[in-house]
């Protein structure tokens, strides 16, 4: 009997364990039914009307008490916070709730955005019910998209045959091979490329406050890019496509803030096609001594189309100079370092190339026979630094103070009195050396020539500043080309822009002001 009792106890334990596991793994709606939850959902929908709005609908009923409130929670894949929208109505046992989400400048969501949403329903008796999470991807519902993919990249197009999509896929693969070689990094997340047939279709898919010159965009935070390609022989296949792909590849690696001049210059550098007008624009800047100071374009480019075109032209030429001066391996090391350290970009640049942005800019100006941007004393320091860099890896050099410390340590052990005297001498010379270094902090040259036009109030250069930081706080462009104002509760993913021709394609009639692409 004892054995039988043990067998019965064992069976009971197994039965209870199975029931517990079944109850734990029941879906939420099934669990609600088992627990006799009085709240049920009859229907739940989300309708997208891109680019204007998105509508959420919920129909629910309660068999026990009047429903009082339903709360819609929306989570965007590029944000860590959620939107919470409580909706109240006159309490009733059967209610329908709606929420209208405007996709205006304050709530713009680009194509490719993933949305997760849930409803929380509560009644007057304290019962509550939460719907299972649902997902929705923002797509441009105005067009019937076709898709082709290979590896980590997918191309999307409309109103063209499959052969056109295959051309896009092949062109994307060829562009990525060249970009991988130049950057030294590759994609490790899937990307989506949306190809519009004409400029009007493309522009209507952008944020409402986008600049008129925007002609292509890369939302690198969500791995999406959009361009315009009219046909198989369109130059945008060799210009805009690799430009946007460069942004996506770079920002999948970079964990630090990349200066805009480097980000955009790198994208233009990787284009397979460069219009002659961009080269001519740069020559004009050299003739007028009107190169834009790098600190003015480190965070954003001008919103004005012509000034933006100057910024792109200049940034491209600087990146071309960097690749020719330092070589592909060091440039690869720089880009790779942006994903391997918590240091600012300028620190990574100095470690990889042996020169920071201030000295790089000055070195480039001298190479172009342009006015120096640093003082004579700082140029001397630059030359000494470069000599060391050319002969040794871009690692930290040994400090001569180590030798002094070693000698001082030995003397402290053997001759205490003499060691104390030597220590005092060492401290004296260390402070003297620190004061000497402080006197040669980078500063603008006295013959510094400002660029044509006033880029920002208070940014006029002067010749007697001791430190670039004293004249830089307000020196950058505050507007990101094509980007709406920052929002407190919903910030669209960051993106950049790139101009094609300064006044349209010179080979076509009716050339007009440029459209810039990100």
The angle that helices 357-367 and 345-353 make with each other, rounded to 10 degrees, is: 60
The answer to whether 118 and 58 have CB atoms below 8 angstroms apart is no
- pLDDT, residue 107, reads 81
The answer to whether 229 and 199 have CB atoms below 8 angstroms apart is no
Q: Note down pLDDT in tens along the chain; length 518 residues.
A: 444 444 455 555 555 555 555 444 544 443 344 357 899 999 999 999 999 999 999 999 999 999 999 999 999 887 777 899 999 999 999 999 999 999 876 788 899 999 999 999 999 999 999 999 999 999 999 999 999 999 999 999 999 999 999 999 999 999 999 999 999 999 999 999 999 999 999 999 998 778 777 879 999 999 999 999 999 999 999 999 999 999 999 999 999 999 999 999 999 999 999 999 999 999 999 999 999 999 999 999 998 889 999 999 999 999 999 999 999 999 999 999 999 878 999 999 999 999 999 999 999 999 999 999 998 766 655 554 444 344 333 333 334 444 444 444 454 455 555 555 555 555 544 444 333 333 322 222 222 222 222 222 222 222 222 222 322 333 333 333 333 333 333 444 555 555 543 333 333 333 333 333 34
Cα gap 57→54, rounded to integer Å:
10
- The owner of tokens 């630059």 is 382
Q: Where are the alpha helices (DSSP H) in 288-375?
A: 305-337, 345-353, 357-367
The answer to whether 255 and 338 have CB atoms below 8 angstroms apart is yes
* Number of C-beta neighbours around residue 174 at 10 A: 15
- pLDDT, residue 78, reads 77
Enumerate helices (H) and strands (E) in the chain, giving the number of each: 13, 14
The answer to whether 308 and 497 have CB atoms below 8 angstroms apart is yes
If you count them, how many residues does the chain have?
Answer: 518
- The owner of tokens 């509760």 is 489
* Number of C-beta neighbours around residue 357 at 10 A: 19
507 Cβ partners below 8 Å, 6+ apart?
none
- pLDDT, residue 498, reads 52
- The owner of tokens 């739940």 is 44
DSSP state of 502: B
Domains of the chain: 35-137 (2.60.40.2440), 146-335+485-517 (1.10.390)
- For residue 475, count CB atoms less than 10 angstroms from its CB and return exposed for 0-12, middle for 13-18, buried for 19 or more: buried
Q: Is residue 35 classed as helix, strand or coil in its secondary structure? A: coil
Enumerate long-range contacts of 483-489, CB under 8 Å, 24 or more apart.
483/207, 483/209, 483/210, 484/105, 484/106, 484/108, 484/207, 484/208, 484/209, 485/105, 485/209, 487/106, 487/107, 489/81, 489/83
- pLDDT, residue 98, reads 97
Helix (H) or strand (E) holding 292: none
Q: Is residue 64 classed as helix, strand or coil in its secondary structure? A: coil
Q: Is the pTM of this model over 0.85?
A: no
Cα gap 34→290, rounded to integer Å:
75
Cα gap 205→16, rounded to integer Å:
57
Closest CA to 234 of 316, 167, 156: 167
Helix (H) or strand (E) holding 163: helix 162-183
- pLDDT, residue 207, reads 84
List the end-to-end C-alpha distance of the chain, in Å, as a whole number.
81
Cα gap 299→456, rounded to integer Å:
13
- pLDDT, residue 401, reads 43
- pLDDT, residue 463, reads 27
- pLDDT, residue 32, reads 44
């Amino acid at each position: 009997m004892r054995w039988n009792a043990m067998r019965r106890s064992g069976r009971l334990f197994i039965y209870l364990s199975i029931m517990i596991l079944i109850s734990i793994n029941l879906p939420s709606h099934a669990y609600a039914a088992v627990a006799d939850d009085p709240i049920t959902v009859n229907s739940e929908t989300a309708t997208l009307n891109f680019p204007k709005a998105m509508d959420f609908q919920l129909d629910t009923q309660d068999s026990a008490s009047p429903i009082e409130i339903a709360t819609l929670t929306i989570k965007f894949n590029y944000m860590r916070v959620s939107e919470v929208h409580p909706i109240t109505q006159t309490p009733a046992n059967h209610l329908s709730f709606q929420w209208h989400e405007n996709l205006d400048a304050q709530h713009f969501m680009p194509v490719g955005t993933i949305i997760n949403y849930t409803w929380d329903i509560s009644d007057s008796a304290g019962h509550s019910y939460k719907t299972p999470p649902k997902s929705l991807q923002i797509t441009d519902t105005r067009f019937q998209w076709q898709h082709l993919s290979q590896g980590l990249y997918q191309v999307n197009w409309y109103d063209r045959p499959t052969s056109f999509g295959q051309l896009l896929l092949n062109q994307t693969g060829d562009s990525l091979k060249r970009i991988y070689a130049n950057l030294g990094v590759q994609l490790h997340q899937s990307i989506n490329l949306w190809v519009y047939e004409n400029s009007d279709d493309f522009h209507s898919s952008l944020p409402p406050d986008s600049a008129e010159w925007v002609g292509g965009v890369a939302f690198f935070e969500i791995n999406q890019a959009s361009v315009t390609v009219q046909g198989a022989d369109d130059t945008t296949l060799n210009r805009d496509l690799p430009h946007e792909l460069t942004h996506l590849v770079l920002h999948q690696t970079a964990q630090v803030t990349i200066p805009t001049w480097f980000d955009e210059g790198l994208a233009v550098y990787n284009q397979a096609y460069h219009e002659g007008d961009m080269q001519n624009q740069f020559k004009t800047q050299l003739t007028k001594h009107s190169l834009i100071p790098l600190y003015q374009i480190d965070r954003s480019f001008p919103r004005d189309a012509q000034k933006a075109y100057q910024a792109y032209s200049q940034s491209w030429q600087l990146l071309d100079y960097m690749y020719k001066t330092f070589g592909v391996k060091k440039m690869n090391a720089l880009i790779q370092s942006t994903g391997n350290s918590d240091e600012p970009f300028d620190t990574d640049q100095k470690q990889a190339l042996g020169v920071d942005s201030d000295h790089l800019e000055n070195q480039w100006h001298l190479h172009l026979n342009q006015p120096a941007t640093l003082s004579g004393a700082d140029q001397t320091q630059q030359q000494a630094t470069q000599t060391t860099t050319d002969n040794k890896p871009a690692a930290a050099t040994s400090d001569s103070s180590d030798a002094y410390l070693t000698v001082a340590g030995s003397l402290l052990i053997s001759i205490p009195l003499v060691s104390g005297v030597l220590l005092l001498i060492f401290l004296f010379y260390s402070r003297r050396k620190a004061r000497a270094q402080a006197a040669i902090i980078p500063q603008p040259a006295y013959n510094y020539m400002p660029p044509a036009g006033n880029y920002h109030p208070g940014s006029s250069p002067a010749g007697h500043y001791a430190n670039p930081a004293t004249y830089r706080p307000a020196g950058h462009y505050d507007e990101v080309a094509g980007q709406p104002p920052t929002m407190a509760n919903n910030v669209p993913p960051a993106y950049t822009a790139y101009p094609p021709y300064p006044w349209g394609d010179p080979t076509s009639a009716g050339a007009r002001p440029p459209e810039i692409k990100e």
